[in-house]
Amino acid sequence: MRRGSWISAVISTFAIVGGVVPLASTSGSAAAAAVPTLPVPADVNGIVYPLTSFLDWAENPLENITDPALGEYAVTQLIDQAASAVGQQFPGEIAAAFSANPGTAAVNLSEQMAAELVHLRPVVANDDVTDVANPNYLPDFDHNGVFGDPGDFVAMEQGAQGAAGLGSPGAHPVSGAFLYPCIADSGAVTYETSAGTCAAGGAARTTYKTGLAEQETIIDSRGLALAATLWLPGGAVGAGAGAGAAAAHNFPAVVISDGLASDQSDYFWLAMTLAAQGDIVLTYDPAGQGASEGSVANLFSPSTPDCTFGGACRDLEDAVRWLLDDPITPIVDLAHSTPLFPLTSDPTPSSQAATAVAGNPNLHNPDAVPAGANLPDPAYGLIDPSKVAVAGHSMGALSLLDYVWFQSKGPNGADGQPLPPLAAAVSLSGAAPTAAIVPIQFQTSDFDGSPTLVGPAVGGIEFGASGNGIGYGQIKPVYDQLRTSGPGTSALSLVVLEGGVHTDFIDTPFITRTPWSLAVSAHYATAWLGCFLQDDGPDCLTASLPAADLSSSFASEITPPGGPLPRASHCITVPTTASLGGSPDQIGAALSGHPQFNCTP
């Protein structure tokens, strides 16, 4: 049965099955094991629920703050990283720079330091002092057999800074095995065993399924080094292009694009979950944040039509090109720009290739080695280029939707160069002009919409959002516009998580989000991508059925593929209670017993 037929059949099946299902496995893996349903609010009229649910998003930081082991771990991470940066990495970079080119070393180092200080989160002596990763989702980067200890974080940060700093890009990639996470709606994390069950990490006489994570460096079209990590599922490890036709070009691939002020490690939970499903995954930091080169200006520039974050939109295009071994063409004058503001247009990019490194050693030629600095994707021979998707959060979601918009208009991206086509997309808290030419799943939360305050939207007012396409109030109209007037007629979905905020899809200790957000988000994202990348019927069904911890105040919906326009949207859930995150009209309608929704129950 074709993919479009799966979703159409699922809609009919849903009318028969009905009811709420637990967060069950989407592809036979225990990594998405059943999650119990939370108790239903006692007040059936929904009068108290809007108040009691308002602080759901504060549960995760409260639990983290009261966890002494996590607090001790976070402090250890910060101290170890700072000591390594100040005592080893930074002095080593200074010595290497003067040894390589004493005449220009001081100028080059000053440019690099200036760029680090105007990073989105300033980097001092190669140390992002605010960066903390969740130990539950760290590979064994220090190879001591323990997953998620402080040494793994230090090794990860050293590898990223070494690859994206003044040294030779990609010269010393750091790699390590990772476990397949089983994420519960309580926030607890166990790991999939070889027997297909889930157990706590480090359990005696237990073997676990593992994949391999390897840090990579991508040179973008502006000559800036992007820190990236490639995630290989166990079935792909060691199965190079020469391993036989069964492995070659057989794996789906997913690129994960960061939100603003985030780090790729904030999305390791999703990368590991998708890898457990059998996808090859690429995470990366756009230029100007995380461990990548560049300044905050590089996130916004050069300007890109219909994309607030023009630089980040360009970097997503380059990340997909690198993954598929497509050429990356310079869009700046590599010989005269600086890493602080590499914005000078280059009308003849190819003419700069020969002089790029000699002209400015702080910028890199994005041509493939040996002419340039871009090393090939080591997993390229395993990837099916017809089964590539992107999942993006916030800024990354807007970048993703811009990518699909360009794909709908022709073969080229924002830079005028060929753009590899995507097969599916997952937009986590983002809405922007786009096209339903590939299946798109939108995810948001009850109180999504306030990135500036990292807190809730109230009364439909998204404090700090400034109309940047986030929150239910802006995502729902884009979803409705695509299903009623297009362009495109691919499948669509809108999933609304219960009680959460804009940071529901970020995993870092002490961040505001609900304990269940990662479990619910992974449940629906893996089902959507499993349906459209792997043509998996059970995944198609899972993507269309209600699960625990979806919003009871806003409808979750799905639109099957195919025309004609307008297309009807089918309710996964219907609202039954009010939410303080809704508009005054929505709150009033819900309290009067007539919640607003326009999907077909």
- Asked whether residue 141 carries a pLDDT value surpassing 60, the answer given is yes
Chain segment 469-478, per-residue pLDDT in tens: 788 988 999 9
Separation in Å, CA 325 to CA 45, 168, 226, 376, 474 = 57, 20, 16, 6, 35
The pLDDT score that the predictor gives to residue 301 is 86
Q: Which among 586, 540, 393 has a CA at the least distance from the CA of 27?
A: 540
- Asked whether residue 77 carries a pLDDT value surpassing 70, the answer given is no
d(CA 18, CA 541): 12
What band does 83 get if pLDDT is binned at 50, 70 and 90?
A: low
d(CA 330, CA 220): 8
What beta strand segments (E) does 360-439 contain? 383-393, 424-428
The contacts of residue 112 (CB under 8 Å, 6+ apart) are 165, 166, 339, 362
Q: Which among 287, 272, 176, 278 has a CA at the least distance from the CA of 236?
A: 278
- Asked whether residue 5 carries a pLDDT value surpassing 70, the answer given is no
Of the two residues 81 and 279, the one the predictor is more confident about is 279
**Contact (Cβ atoms closer than 8 angstroms) between residue 507 and residue 267:** yes
Of the two residues 294 and 353, the one the predictor is more confident about is 294
- Asked whether residue 7 carries a pLDDT value surpassing 70, the answer given is no
Of the two residues 158 and 324, the one the predictor is more confident about is 324
- Asked whether residue 93 carries a pLDDT value surpassing 80, the answer given is no
- Asked whether residue 242 carries a pLDDT value surpassing 50, the answer given is no
Tokens of 168: 């030779």
- Asked whether residue 304 carries a pLDDT value surpassing 80, the answer given is yes
- Asked whether residue 115 carries a pLDDT value surpassing 90, the answer given is no
The pLDDT score that the predictor gives to residue 34 is 41
The DSSP secondary-structure symbol of 20 reads -
The pLDDT score that the predictor gives to residue 153 is 83
Burial pattern 296-306, b for ≥16 Cβ within 10 A else e, equals bbbbbbbebee
The DSSP secondary-structure symbol of 41 reads P
Question: Residue 12, exposed/middle/buried by CB under 10 A (0-12, 13-18, 19+)?
Answer: exposed
Chain segment 493-508, per-residue pLDDT in tens: 999 999 999 999 999 8
Measured at the CA of 457, the angle between CA 452 and CA 462, to 5 degrees, comes to 65
Q: Which helix (H) or strand (E) holds 316?
A: helix 310-323
- What average pLDDT does range 236-249 have in this prediction? 59
Chain segment 29-48, per-residue pLDDT in tens: 444 444 334 344 444 445 66
What band does 74 get if pLDDT is binned at 50, 70 and 90?
A: low
DSSP state letters, 227-285: EEEEEE-GGGTT--GGG-TTTTT-EEEEEEEPPTT--GGGGHHHHHHHHHHT-EEEEE-
Question: Residue 186, exposed/middle/buried by CB under 10 A (0-12, 13-18, 19+)?
Answer: middle
- Averaged pLDDT score across all residues of the chain: 81
Beta bridge partners, 97, equal: none
The pLDDT score that the predictor gives to residue 419 is 97
Separation in Å, CA 228 to CA 13, 205, 243, 258, 263 = 41, 34, 25, 11, 10
**Cis link prior to 561 (omega < 30° from 0)?**
no
The pLDDT score that the predictor gives to residue 486 is 96
Q: Which among 141, 135, 146 has a CA at the least distance from the CA of 69?
A: 135
The pLDDT score that the predictor gives to residue 252 is 98
Separation in Å, CA 120 to CA 130, 166, 294, 297, 393 = 11, 19, 9, 9, 17
- What average pLDDT does range 408-415 have in this prediction? 94
The contacts of residue 265 (CB under 8 Å, 6+ apart) are 131, 133, 134, 137, 138, 156, 508
For tokens 């000591």, name the residue: 83
148 Rama class: left (phi>0) / alpha (psi -120 to 50) / beta = left
- Asked whether residue 2 carries a pLDDT value surpassing 50, the answer given is no
